[in-house]
Amino acid sequence: MNSVRQAFYPGQVPIDAYGNGGFRFADMSHRGSLLCLPGGMHGWEAVEAGEAVVEAGEAECLRLHMFEAVIAEAGSIEVLLIGTGPNQVFLTPELREGLAAHGLFAEAMATGAAARTYNVLLAEKRAVAAALIAVD
């Protein structure tokens, strides 16, 4: 299953705004979740508009196969931020271990915090990527 949608912006740019089910960046708007990778900005079908299924405080809906595009660029990523929607939820041990097996250190936080942290790290020219679940 390919979890990257057709939406694509070549290059990595800061997030100007988030909310209303999407993101604004590079004078454009994108509806839905977003992958911000060194190779570009991609639409992401992982979870649309913050409809995360959260059980026992863990993001049960996020699975390793949803991160195929991230894994493909793992060699260019120092930190992977995962925006889990309106609230911070923990990644499952299986997902955390699966990402680590590809050399990816993942930090989960609310989408707003992840977008802000992504912008700071990007401005510092760090090798950062973000997987952001859209919020309303």
Rounded Cα distance, 89 and 65, in Å? 19
- If one compares 81 and 49, the residue with the highest pLDDT of the two is 81
- CATH code for the domain of 61: 3.40.1230.10
Number of domains in the chain: 1
Tracing tokens 């939406």 back to the chain, one arrives at: 7
Region of residue 67 (left: phi > 0; alpha: psi -120 to 50; beta: else): alpha
In the numeric block, which tokens belong to residue 18? Answer: 């988030």
Q: What is the pTM of this model?
A: 0.88
Which DSSP symbol is given to 84? -
Rounded Cα distance, 23 and 127, in Å? 21
Domain span holding position 72 = 4-132
According to the model, what pLDDT value does residue 58 have? Answer: 62
Q: What is the pLDDT of residues 109-128, one digit of tens each?
A: 999 999 999 999 999 999 99
